[in-house]
Amino acid sequence: MIWLKRELNDSVICDSVGFRITQKAVSEIVSVKNEKQRIFCRLTNLYSRKKFELSITIYDSSL
């Protein structure tokens, strides 16, 4: 199971596996340094039942 915590800037951070999940437009290109890795997924807010399209940027936290 992956635990996510909310931040004030509407980003969702999962520190345990080094994922940074931010709400973005699907067409936006997300880059990390010289590498580009994008994963798109749909999540449902358990409180409001709203659906969100999320762009997940995979990054190396040691950089």
Q: Whole-model pTM?
A: 0.21
In a domain? residue 28: yes
Q: Which domain holds residue 17?
A: 5-58
Is residue 63 in some structural domain? no
23, part of any domain: yes
For 36, the token pair is: 């580009």
Q: Give the pLDDT of residue 49.
A: 58
**How many Cβ atoms sit within 10 Å of the Cβ of residue 55?**
19
CB contact set of 9 (below 8 Å; sequence gap of 6+): none
pLDDT of residue 55: 55
Print pLDDT tens along the chain (63 aa). 343 444 434 444 444 444 444 444 333 333 333 344 555 555 555 555 555 555 555 555 554
Q: What residues have CB less than 8 Å from 63, skipping those under 6 apart? A: 33
**DSSP symbol at 15:** T
d(CA 37, CA 47): 30
